[in-house]
């Protein structure tokens, strides 16, 4: 049997069309876009500008609001530290975030707490969703920044970002969202979200690894952000370092493809997830689907198998690629902080796998993986 890849929330394979678009920029158009004195540099700069437009088009932004980074982790750090450092002696000293955020948000906030900032961690309900009344109580006139993920990487839960942004803006706070899991899976409009800052990563939407972007509403002049990386002043002085033209070109192409396919893929993948969940519920006793009652990503299914160790389950499925938590914490001994935040016991958290479907998932994949999981779970329960 060939491999079945159901770990698209960890990373996606590069779409072949993306790879094809990138190839000329390794050895044919190889100039540094910072040098406009020769043709190679100008062609590279033109390609970067075009990619910037493609990224902007996917989220309904202006290209002047898009700044390239190495990925969502850097963008998250830039949003948080960049806002904090932009004004010496900042008066607002509170940052509001959420217990189920990615570590690239939680750890910068932890660092800021050590330097005197007040960090408020919003809890979530049993579906992994922020309670608006809790957000409203937490955000006040001392709040500098509210940073809440758009969609959770483990549960797929969608957060009420537009409503949270409205609450924050009423108190004069800026709003950032980590949208790495959202972009490319559902249609996105930055205007509808109402946010000031947004992070995105190319490798989550069939683009190359090592490139992403931060959206800044109105551009850097509207919301000044302090750079974390000094040097040649690339990306309007926000992110120094030689521009990674091939990766940026691939990122742009991935965004253009996603824009054309997102609605169609949303319907198809939702149907496949329904097939996966309903088959497993029918075949396996006592299985639970986490976050099923909240709005969620069409591709994500968090499945708890009480009494079965998730690592053992996956080790007995060598041709099936799934996760037991977010990719960035899969090597950790501790159970997922996200699963514990929604009320799962340590044992149940350790009995949970994440299936995340994608562009290249087929009905045959779902049929095969359901049969395999049913067989292996039955074997493990009888041991």
| Enzyme catalytic residues | 328
Q: Locate 170 and state its tokens.
A: 């009423």
**DSSP string for 289-357:** EETTTS-B-TTEEEEE-TTS-HHHHHHT-TTEE-BSS-GGGTT-SSPPHHHHHTT--HHHHTTEEEEE-
User: Which of 49, 67, 33, 1 lies closest to 218, judged by CA?
Assistant: 67
Residue 83 and residue 220 in contact, taking contact as beta carbons nearer than 8 Å: no
Residue 47 and residue 25 in contact, taking contact as beta carbons nearer than 8 Å: yes
Residue 287 and residue 317 in contact, taking contact as beta carbons nearer than 8 Å: no
Instruction: List Cα–Cα distances, 325 to 110, 198, 351, 353, in angstroms.
Output: 21, 23, 10, 7
Sheet containing 352-356: which strands, arranged edge to edge? 288-290, 300-304, 352-356
Query: How far apart, in whole angstroms, are the C-alpha atoms of residue 194 and residue 19?
Result: 33
Q: For the chain, where are the E strands, in sequence order?
A: 4-5, 66-69, 94-98, 118-122, 143-147, 174-178, 197-201, 212-216, 288-290, 300-304, 320-321, 352-356
Residue 158: beta bridge partners? 151
Query: How far apart, in whole angstroms, are the C-alpha atoms of residue 171 and residue 143?
Result: 8
DSSP 138: H
Query: How far apart, in whole angstroms, are the C-alpha atoms of residue 365 and residue 369?
Result: 6
Apex 345 CA angle, 339 and 346, nearest 5 = 80
């Amino acid at each position: 049997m060939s491999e079945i890849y159901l770990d698209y929330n960890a990373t996606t394979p590069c779409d072949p069309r993306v790879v094809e678009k990138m190839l000329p920029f390794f050895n044919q158009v190889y100039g540094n876009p910072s040098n406009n004195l020769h043709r190679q540099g100008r062609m590279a700069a033109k390609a970067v500008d075009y990619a910037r437009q493609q990224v902007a088009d996917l989220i309904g932004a202006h290209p002047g609001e898009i700044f390239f980074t190495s990925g969502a982790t850097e963008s998250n750090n830039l949003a948080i530290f960049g806002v904090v450092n932009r004004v010496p002696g900042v008066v607002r000293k509170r940052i509001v975030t959420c217990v189920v955020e990615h570590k690239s948000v939680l750890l910068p906030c932890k660092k800021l707490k050590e330097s005197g900032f007040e960090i408020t961690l919003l809890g979530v309900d049993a579906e992994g969703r922020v309670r608006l009344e809790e957000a409203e109580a937490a955000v006040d006139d001392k709040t500098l920044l509210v940073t809440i993920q758009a969609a959770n990487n483990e549960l797929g839960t969608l957060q009420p970002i537009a409503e949270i942004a409205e609450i924050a803006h009423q108190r004069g706070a800026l709003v950032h969202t980590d949208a790495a899991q959202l972009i490319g899976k559902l249609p996105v409009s930055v205007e509808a979200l109402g946010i000031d800052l947004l992070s995105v990563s190319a490798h989550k939407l069939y683009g190359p690894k090592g490139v992403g972007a931060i959206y800044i509403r109105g551009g850097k002049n509207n919301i000044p952000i302090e750079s974390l990386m000094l040097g040649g002043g690339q990306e309007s002085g926000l992110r120094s370092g030689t521009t990674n033209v091939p990766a940026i070109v691939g990122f742009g192409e991935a965004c253009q493809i996603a824009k054309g396919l997102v609605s169609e893929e949303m319907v198809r993948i939702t149907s496949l997830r329904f097939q996966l969940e309903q088959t497993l519920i029918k075949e396996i006793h006592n299985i639970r689907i986490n976050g099923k009652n909240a709005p969620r990503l069409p591709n994500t299914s968090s499945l708890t198998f009480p009494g079965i160790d998730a690592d053992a389950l996956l080790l007995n499925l060598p041709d099936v690629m799934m996760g037991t938590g977010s990719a960035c914490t899969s090597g950790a001994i501790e159970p997922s902080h996200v699963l514990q935040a929604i009320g799962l016991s340590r044992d149940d958290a350790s009995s949970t796998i994440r299936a995340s479907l994608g562009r290249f998932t087929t009905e045959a994949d779902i049929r095969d993986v359901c049969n395999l999981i049913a067989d292996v779970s039955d074997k493990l329960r009888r041991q």
